[in-house]
Amino acid sequence: MEIIRDIEKMQSRAEKTRQGGKRIALVPTMGALHEGHLALMDYGREKANLLVVSIFVNPIQFGPKEDFEKYPRDLQKDSRLTEKRGVDLIFSPEIKAFYPEFFQTYVTVEKVTQNLCGASRPGHFRGVTTVVCKLFNIVKPHLAIFGQKDFQQLIAIQQMVEDLHMDVEVVGRPTIREDDGLAMSSRNVFLSPEERISARSLFQAMQEGQSLFRMGERKTEVLLNRVRGLIMEQPFTRIDYAKICHPRTLEEVKVVEGRGVLALAVWVGATRLIDNCLLEDKGQ
Ligand code: AMP
């Protein structure tokens, strides 16, 4: 497996691959890979001839007080894991080449990024859509694979691709979880053993929300009271948001008609975790 750092080299490799009639799949990541990321790669391996994983901790999607500096990085371990999963190529550019001094062009998706994490993390999604747009221009994938765990990110990218007529198929794949339900995340390593126990409450609360929904409850207030209660009764937790939104517009709803997405962001100690599930009669 090859590691490419140089942007032009990646572009010419992508161009040659396309000219040879081969399909390219891209899995964009920030590294510190876990089974959640690797499941996206397994899917891409099936669908493409050249499977590219980008590893880039993107500075412009972190706020000034966020964890950019301490975000876990381990390229050696990541390359061992990706190689085992049949990845052809890691693209891992240098920050200075990716965002040179005179860089000044950003992609902003306006409405679906307003609520949820967009409200708590100003500028975050502008950073995400900009990096993904740039990665698409460099890696030239036919197919790009993202996790539903970052539901709002997936919706924003789908909106960008649609609005800007980007010739890329975007696929969202299910969230991979630990045995007790905690969504896998590179940030889980920051949890102390006690916090790790409290972190289960996100999944437990979502399950409770889903089961109330299946029993016929459609009022957001009732559903969220139960969800919030279960999370708040655990030590170390502080809810950033717990909302039920329309799964396409991400606007909050008072009553769930058809389908809704239950979205959570919860501080557990100093670590902010996010998760979500669909509310629909057969569940996610
Ligand atoms: P990140 O490295 O956190 O930026 O994530 C890279 C990609 O992996 C994104 O598309 C995420 O949505 C996806 N991802 C992260 N955690 C999981 C998970 N537990 N299950 C499935 N996909 C995930």
Residue 54 lies in a domain: yes
Residue closest via CA to ligand 1's atom 13 equals 147
Q: What integer pLDDT is reported at residue 101 of this predicted model?
A: 97
Residue 116 lies in a domain: yes
Residues 162 and 122 in one domain: yes
Residues 154 and 62 in one domain: yes
Residue-wise pLDDT for 65-96, tens only, equals: 999 999 999 999 999 999 999 999 999 999 99
Domain boundary among 173, 207, 223: 173
Q: Please say if the pLDDT value at position 272 is more than 80.
A: yes
Q: Indicate which CATH number applies to the domain containing 86.
A: 3.40.50.620
Q: Which residues line ligand 1 (CB under 6 A)?
A: 29-30, 36-37, 39-40, 146-147, 149-150, 175-176, 183-186
Domain boundary among 173, 197, 230: 173
Residue-wise pLDDT for 38-69, tens only, equals: 999 999 999 999 999 999 999 999 999 999 99
Residues 124 and 33 in one domain: yes
Q: Which of 26, 27, 29 to mutate to test the pocket of ligand 1 (most atoms within 8 A of CB)?
A: 29
Query: Residue 50: which of 89, 95, 76, 3 has the closest Cα?
Result: 89
Residue 178 lies in a domain: no
Query: Residue 221: which of 265, 256, 247 has the closest Cα?
Result: 256
Q: Please say if the pLDDT value at position 284 is more than 80.
A: no
Residue closest via CA to ligand 1's atom 10 equals 146
Residue 252 lies in a domain: yes
Residue 181 lies in a domain: no
Residues 142 and 232 in one domain: no
Would residue 165 show up in a list of annotated catalytic residues for this protein? no
What is the rounded CA–CA span in Å between residue 219 and residue 224? 9
Residues 146 and 196 in one domain: no
Which tokens go with 217? 């409850």
Whole-prediction pTM: 0.97
Q: Please say if the pLDDT value at position 283 is more than 50.
A: no
Q: What percent of the chain has pLDDT over 70?
A: 99
How many structural domains compose the chain? Answer: 2
Q: Indicate which CATH number applies to the domain containing 231.
A: 3.30.1300.10
Residues 111 and 226 in one domain: no
Q: What integer pLDDT is reported at residue 281 of this predicted model?
A: 78
Residue 208 lies in a domain: yes
Residues 43 and 131 in one domain: yes
- Decide if 32 contacts 78 (C-beta within 8 A): yes
Q: Tokens 């859509």 — which residue?
A: 129
Residue 283 lies in a domain: no
Rounded average pLDDT over 177-199: 98
Q: What integer pLDDT is reported at residue 241 of this predicted model?
A: 98
Q: For 107-147, where are the E strands, in sequence order?
A: 143-147
Residue-wise pLDDT for 7-16, tens only, equals: 999 999 999 9
Q: Tokens 């190529």 — which residue?
A: 89
Q: pLDDT band for 24, please (50, 70, 90 cuts).
A: very high
Residues 198 and 248 in one domain: yes
Residues 202 and 99 in one domain: no
Residues 88 and 165 in one domain: yes
Domain boundary among 142, 173, 204: 173
Residues 111 and 30 in one domain: yes
Query: Residue 108: which of 83, 126, 134 has the closest Cα?
Result: 126
Rounded average pLDDT over 130-155: 99
User: Mean of the per-residue pLDDT values for the chain?
Assistant: 97
- Nearest atom in ligand 1 to 150's CA: 12
Which residue segment(s) compose the domain that 209 sits in? 186-278
Residue 265 lies in a domain: yes
Residues 95 and 221 in one domain: no
Q: Exactly one of 37, 124, 142, 246 is catalytic; name it.
A: 37
